[in-house]
Amino acid sequence: MPMFRRILIANRGEIALRVIRTAQEMGIETVAVYSDADRAALHVRRATHAVHLGGSKPSESYLDIGKIVAAAKRTGCDALHPGYGFLSENEDLAQACKDAGIEFLGPPPHAITVMGDKVEARKAAAKAGVPLVPGLQEDVDAARLVAAAKQVGYPVMLKAAAGGGGKGIRIVREEKQLVEAFELARAEARSSFGDERIYLEKFVTRPRHVEIQVMADKHGNVVHYGERECSVQRRHQKLVEESPCVALTPELRAQMGKAACDLARSVGYVGAGTVEFLWSEGRFYFMEMNTRLQVEHPVTEMRYGVDLVREQIRVGAGEKLSPVPEPRGHAIEVRVNAEDPDKFFPSLGTLTRINLPGGPGVRLDSAMYRGMEVTPYYDSMLAKLVVHGADRDQAIARCARALRELRIVGVVTSLPVALATLRAPAFAAGDYDTSILESIDRKPTAQHEELAMLAAAAARFLGAERAGAAVESAGAARASAPRWAMVGRADRLRRTGP
């Protein structure tokens, strides 16, 4: 099968740009699709072709399978890359591509379907010999629960099958509370979700989120590129990712890698995928498989010197997997979101100034540009900063250095949270779990606060001097005063009156 001539990218933002970059390096043309809000977006400007889809709401553009496949056909694309999010794990798009004779750069529809269903995915994992959190899922009654809890050991968790996002979970610490807790949980689940199914799982203490990057070709080869540690999360959204994970031994890494490859092989996987595990006290348990490229894939690219999008395209075109290079050093990624660093509240606005970091070991993946509007239609990630160092200490220091170089004006960003994480003793020691963000102290020192107050007074002084100068020199003022005097954003509940 010859290499593709033209790829449609069914996505936007930095991931669309990411795919365009690799395609361009491979000499493959790209078709960007865009919504009303994205006409001037970087992915549109950097692609070789662009097709307008529709309104700014995702349902009118990036989620419309019919429009996307029609655009791919009309522009003569022979492949389609779904990116992440939007339709990337939608088996209907994969099927529609197949029907249209367009290569979907992801796994076959069947693999998406299996991994998209929690119950099916668990079954597949069990069948492939991948460890699951021990517990009782089926034919649950009080007697079976008591037996199961005794077997896995207390504490245990009772979870509502229809729950999610932390809702409908109850922790039980002793056998004598179990049956009563089960009855209560069942009643609660019935009233909250209209579904009284409850299952039991071992309570995993201090869990870490550790995932394995896999890649499979159409010739039955499956490889993995080690792990990524993604435990720094807020509201189940990853904020800082690193590789390697300090908690893994070489033996455990090999076991997890093998488990991930076995699972991929068992569902006839093709392309890039990620198997997510919970790690706790030296053991690992299957969580789920993401059947697409992850946001944090550059962490792996930096460590292995590999281009995962290139591999996706190559295996999609029927080529065999390239050999996996030896990993080197340590890599860290930080996601920079347009959000209030205290309340993780999205922040909208126009980017009026962007200072990008540079120098050794620094990579930035971003589709932001000066003048860009951050709108409410899409997710709030502005950039991914990825660094590489010879070891973990150097990577952390480098990441902090680069984060200090990165300045974004126009919206409030999560940068200070990331910096505080890198400075936190628990992070530096590598001794952390998915709750780390809750415990990080972000209060500035009194000395820094005094400096900030001095700087604020100085800024006002300078502004006043310039305003004075502006009266004298109208020309100079016109060029600079509006920006300088721009009124600050008001993202908070304001107090009016005195």
Partner 1 sequence: MKYTTKLGGVEREFVIERHGDALQARCGDKTFALDLRLVGDGSAFSLLVDGRSYDVVADIGREEVALQMLGQRFVVHVEDERERAAHAVAGNKVGGKQELRAAMPGIVIDVKVAVGDAVEEGKTLVVLEAMKMQNPLAAEAPGKVTRILCKKGEAVAAGALLLEME
Near a copy of itself by CB under 8 A: residue from 35, 113, 231, 366: 366
CA separation for the pair 378, 57 (Å, rounded): 8
Q: Which of 18, 208, 228, 292 is catalytic?
A: 292
Query: Binding to partner 1 (CB under 8 A): which residues in 45-74?
Result: 45-51
Ramachandran sector of residue 344 (left: φ over 0; alpha: ψ -120 to 50; beta: rest)? left
Judged by CB under 8 A, the number of residues near partner 1 is 83
Interface stretch with partner 1, choices 2-10, 118-126, 310-318, 462-470 (CB under 8 A): 462-470
Rg value, the chain, Cα: 25
Binding part of the chain for partner 1, among 113-121, 246-254, 373-381, 430-438 by CB under 8 A, reads 373-381
Binder among 5, 167, 407, 478 for partner 1 (CB under 8 A): 407
Q: By CB under 8 A, what part of segment 146-175 binds partner 1?
A: none
Tokens representing 261? 């490859």
Of residues 55 and 360, the one with the C-beta less far from a copy of itself: 360
Binding-site string for a copy of itself from residue 405 to residue 434, where x marks contact by CB under 8 A and - marks none: x-----------------------------
For residue 21, indicate whether it is catalytic.
no
Q: Are 202 and 135 in contact (CB under 8 A)?
A: yes
Q: Please identify, using beta-carbon distances, which residue of 171 and 369 lies nearer to partner 1.
A: 369
Q: Nearest CA to 231 among 296, 155, 169?
A: 296
298 interacts with, out of partner 1, a copy of itself, none, CB within 5 to 8 A per kind: a copy of itself
Which one of residues 377, 394, 426, 440 is an interface residue with partner 1 (CB under 8 A)?
377
Nearer to partner 1, 94 or 354 (CB): 354
Does residue 401 belong to the site contacting a copy of itself (CB under 8 A)? Answer: yes
At residue 352, what are phi and psi to the nearest 5 degrees? -100, -15
Minimum Å gap between C-beta 416 and a copy of itself is 18
Q: How far is the CB of 118 from a copy of itself (least distance, A)?
A: 33
Using CA atoms, how far residue 403 sits from 26, 333, 415, 437, in Å, is 31, 11, 7, 18
CA gap 448, 468 in Å, rounded? 30
List strands edge to edge, sheet with 156-164: 135-136, 198-202, 156-164, 167-172
Among residues 169, 409, 428, 440, the one that binds partner 1 under rule CB under 8 A: 409
What does DSSP say about strands 330-337 and 381-389: parallel, antiparallel, or unpaired?
A: antiparallel
Binding partner of residue 296 among a copy of itself, partner 1, none, CB cut-off 5 to 8 Å per kind = none
390 binds, among a copy of itself, partner 1, none (CB under 5 to 8 A by kind): a copy of itself
Out of a copy of itself, partner 1, none, what residue 484 binds, judged by CB under 5 to 8 A for its kind, is: partner 1
Among 6-14, 207-215, 304-312, 489-497, which window interacts with partner 1 (CB under 8 A)? 489-497
Which of 18-45 are b and which e, b meaning 16 or more Cβ less than 10 Å from the residue's Cβ?
bbbebbeebebbbbbbbbebbeebbbbe
Rounded to the nearest 5°, which phi and psi values hold at 166?
85, -5
| 452: partner contacted, choices partner 1, a copy of itself, none (Cβ within 5-8 A by kind) | partner 1
- The encoded tokens of residue 366 equal 């971003």
Which of the listed partners (a copy of itself, partner 1, none) does 204 bind, with a CB threshold of 5 to 8 Å by partner kind?
none
Q: Are 347 and 340 contacting, i.e. CB atoms less than 8 angstroms apart?
A: yes
Binder of partner 1 out of 248, 263, 395, 403 (CB under 8 A)? 403
The footprint of partner 1 on residues 313-372 (CB under 8 A) is 338, 341, 343-348, 352-353, 355, 369-372
Q: Pattern of binders to a copy of itself over 296-325, x per CB under 8 A?
A: --x--x---xxx--------------x--x
388 counts as binding a copy of itself under rule CB under 8 A:
yes
Which parts of 57-131 fold into alpha helices (H)?
65-74, 91-100, 109-116, 118-127
The residues that bridge with 242 in the sheet, in sequence order, are: 229, 332
For the segment 235-264, give every residue that binds partner 1 (CB under 8 A).
235
* Segment lying near a copy of itself (by CB under 8 A), choices 20-28, 48-56, 239-247, 456-464: 20-28
Q: Is there binding between residue 421 and partner 1 (CB under 8 A)?
A: no
Considering beta carbons, is residue 126 or 476 the nearer one to a copy of itself?
476
Between CA 460 and CA 464 the distance in angstroms is 6
Rounded distance between C-alpha atoms, residue 89 and residue 82, angstroms: 8
Residue 481: φ, ψ to 5°: -60, -40
Output the furthest CA–CA distance in the chain (Å, rounded). Answer: 88
Q: Does 474 bind partner 1 (CB under 8 A)?
A: no
Q: Which is nearer to partner 1, 53 or 149 (CB)?
A: 53
Nearest Cα residue to 28 out of 51, 5, 49, 46: 5
Give the CA angle between residues 149, 154, 155 to the nearest 5°: 115
Among 228, 238, 178, 186, CA closest to 203: 178
Place of tokens 């779904």: 82
Contact, 422 vs 399, CB < 8 A?
A: yes
Q: Report the alpha-carbon distance of residue 142 to residue 148 in Å, rounded.
A: 10
Q: Which of 73, 454, 468, 473 binds partner 1 (CB under 8 A)?
A: 454
484 lines the binding site for partner 1 (CB under 8 A): yes
Give the catalytic positions in this structure: 292
Give the binding site for a copy of itself (CB under 8 A): 17-18, 21-22, 24-27, 46, 298, 301, 305-307, 322, 325, 328-329, 353, 355-356, 358-366, 369-370, 388, 390, 394, 397-398, 401, 404-405, 478-479, 482
